[in-house]
Amino acid sequence: MLTRRNFTIGCGLLGSSVAVLGARLGITDPAPFNTPLPIPKLIDAAKQASAVALKVISGRHAFVKGKPTLTYGYSAPILGPVIRLHQGDAVEMTVENALDVATTVHWHGLLVPGYNDGGPQQLIHPGKTWRPVLKIDQPAATLWFHPHPHHDTARQIYMGLAGMIIVDDGSDARLGLPRTYGIDDLPIIIQDRTIDSDGSIEYENNTLNALDIAYGARGETIIVNGVIAPVAKVPPGVVRLRLLNAANAQNFELRFNDKRTFYVIASDGGFLAAPVPVKQLTISPAERFEVLVDFADGKAVALETGPDEEMGVFGRVAPDGSADYVAVMRFEPAPNTTIVKRVPKRLIAPPLVSSASAARRRQFILDSGLCASRPQVNAHADMPALIGINGKSFDIERIDVETKLGTTEVWEIVSIGMAHPFHVHGALFRIVSIEGAPPPAHLAGWKDTVLVEDKAEILVAFNQPATREHPFMYHCHILEHEDAGLMGQYVCA
Ligand code: C2O
Ligand code: CU
């Protein structure tokens, strides 16, 4: 197979960067599993009069013991709180920017109007405060929040800015799901970093050479909730993991080292009709899956990730540059009162949708410019080789698409160069087809991000307004692609 280390052919433009990447491999020691999984502070909006304050700060965090380094976080040195929001509430958010650069906060997956969405138009300058009032009007789901300032999104997220949102609609108890935060309902935020010998992760160290832009900034070291190879003590029963891929570019290929079956219960936009048993789960940047894992056998088990299969001409590459699985974290069932014993049979079926009712159809060709290796490249050979959608690089002054409020559209997404995780703001969608086939069961529910290797058709439901002043974005969620222009804007009225 091709690895970053031995990759030299077919991509002459990038040849010079390969040596740089090779030198970075294998810096951090492998998994000791001796750091307890950090559980971010839970802010339940309902318990504080629906007012939530976040402060965007810089701080210091030691990825490597004894070597603290500069990081960013939301009211924390790295990452931020988990915010629980309740359907039907109006939540007063206060976001103060204490950084020395402008930022924005985008509520990824939250269905709010364009003026509250936190896209690149809504800069919060240093020392300023943003106060959106968010009306929560969607079913239970695991969402997240992160910065979105154009050209600086990738760096700011890499420095640590990401937090989780749980939308609660009261269905957990009725469904008998694990729901005790930090005990049997765990946020699992997975990222990868390049950690230098001095313990730093500064994005400048990961200088944006052509290779980083071509396939996104990737690191050899996996972190979960901000730490390397943590261990979580769990009850010996059914545990719910809210998996969020908050990496800049890496797709995680998750499985347990004993190959046990686990159950996908929710995708980006909420519950599936029934738990879907899987042994392996691909999660691309910005995607979320809620899964149930049964630890009743009392055995310790490691979650691990395998080679990224979606690297186009680069082939399969594991985060550490090898071709093997690497450990992400470990779970140790501890004697405890088991809270939930059973995986439920049924969840909440998303409504049936039909593309027959779609108001129109559009095509979006995502081209990361370099190393186009996929068959579609011939079909679209007339397109200029640049990072952009339908041959156009992002322009904040340009509205690319006009949609009608209350309608659905079929969007055909075509990936060139490598697999791109495509995300739409302000709307949820259902996958109609992916790589020419109907979606597998765990991808059949509501989504806001989909990994497209060659081609997918999605049925997008537009139910939130967005004006020319505050349009919604759609883009590749490989953050270096997004910053480089693989993004467009739509209005909805
Ligand atoms: Cu995660 Cu444009 O967003
Ligand atoms: Cu991309």
- 477 Cα–ligand 1 center, Å: 6
What contacts 44, CB < 8 A, 6 or more positions away?
84
- Which ligand 1 atom is nearest residue 119's CA? 2
The SS3 call for residue 142 is strand
| CA dist., res. 366 & res. 399, Å (int) | 17
Name the residue with the closest Cα to ligand 1, atom 3.
108
Give the ligand whose atoms come closest to the C-alpha of residue 453: 2
- Determine whether the shortest distance from the Cβ of 481 to ligand 1 is under 6 A: no
- 480 Cα–ligand 2 center, Å: 8
- 422 Cα–ligand 2 center, Å: 8
The residue behind tokens 């698409």 is 401
- 483 Cα–ligand 2 center, Å: 10
- 17 Cα–ligand 2 center, Å: 19
Cα radius of gyration (the chain): 21
Taking the alpha carbons of 203, 306, 23, 451 in that order, is the dihedral positive or negative? negative
Q: How far is CA 305 from the centre of its chain?
A: 16
pLDDT at residue 252 in the model: 95
- Determine whether the shortest distance from the Cβ of 108 to ligand 1 is under 6 A: yes
Supply 326's token pair.
């690497």
- Determine whether the shortest distance from the Cβ of 255 to ligand 1 is under 6 A: no
Q: Which stretches does DSSP call E strand in 10-89?
A: 35-36, 42-44, 51-61, 69-74, 82-86
What φ, ψ does residue 214 adopt, rounded to 5°?
A: -60, -40
Residues of the chain with pLDDT under 70: 1-31, 204-211, 311-323, 370-386
Give the ligand whose atoms come closest to the C-alpha of residue 163: 1
Protein residues with C-beta less than 5 angstroms from the ion ligand 2? 420, 476, 478, 481
Number of H helices, E strands in the chain: 6, 33
pLDDT at residue 204 in the model: 64
pLDDT at residue 362 in the model: 98
- 425 Cα–ligand 1 center, Å: 7
Q: How many residues does the chain have?
A: 493
Strand 420-424 to strand 449-452: parallel, antiparallel, or no bridges (unpaired)? antiparallel
Give the ligand whose atoms come closest to the C-alpha of residue 246: 1
pLDDT at residue 199 in the model: 94
| CA dist., res. 113 & res. 135, Å (int) | 9
Contact between 317 and 3 under an 8 Å Cβ cutoff? The reply is: yes
- Determine whether the shortest distance from the Cβ of 161 to ligand 1 is under 6 A: no
Supply 384's token pair.
């200029």
Helix (H) or strand (E) holding 173: helix 171-175
Taking the alpha carbons of 115, 118, 123, 128 in that order, is the dihedral positive or negative? positive
- Determine whether the shortest distance from the Cβ of 286 to ligand 1 is under 6 A: yes
Supply 246's token pair.
């908050």
What φ, ψ does residue 410 adopt, rounded to 5°?
A: -95, 125
- Determine whether the shortest distance from the Cβ of 148 to ligand 1 is under 6 A: yes
